[in-house]
Amino acid sequence: MPNPVYMRLFREIVLDVWRTEQTRAREVDTMRAERVADLNARLEKLEDAFIYQHSIDRATYDRQHDRVEEELALAEVELQEARIERIDVDGVLAFAEHLIGNLGRMWIEADLPLRQKIQSAIFPEGLPFDGRGFGTAPTCLAFMQLRPSEAVENGMASPTGFEPVFWP
């Protein structure tokens, strides 16, 4: 079970990154919506030029109309795809926290195929077994990040180390 402090920290980091991405996505959405509006306006001008002003011939109208319609269809698809990709990050995080917090119980209650999936998710390289016992297996990145970090010494001498201390 991961330390609750690390789980809260993990949640805050994910939410911070998500908020940043959402801001960027809204900016992209605005640009895409402006592109769709611009292409619709171009179609209207093209139709006005052909139908009401008679300033372009049929071949030019057809060619330009097809080109703008194609660009418009692509822009609308891009705009729609961006809106579909939005997810409920709070719901996903709640599910992930529940899943991680209850892996032991899930393991006990799971059938063999689900146990294999859980094991594969936690130990992507498998569990080393030498015929007598299991060795230490590398865990997936998500679990490695939830473990407390070891204090790392930087190898630098203290101010009163080898060099003389100078007083101002």
What is the residue extent of each domain of the chain?
Answer: 4-86, 102-128+137-146
What mean pLDDT do residues 67-93 have? 85
Global pTM?
0.50
pLDDT tens digits for range 22-59:
888 888 889 999 999 999 999 999 999 999 999 999 99
Mean pLDDT of 123-147: 70
The secondary structure of residue 49, as a DSSP letter, is I
Contacts 24+ apart (CB under 8 A), 24-27: 25/82, 25/86
pLDDT at 96 over 90: no
**4-47 and 58-84 helices cross at what angle (nearest 10)?**
170
Q: pLDDT class for 164, splitting at 50, 70, 90?
A: very low
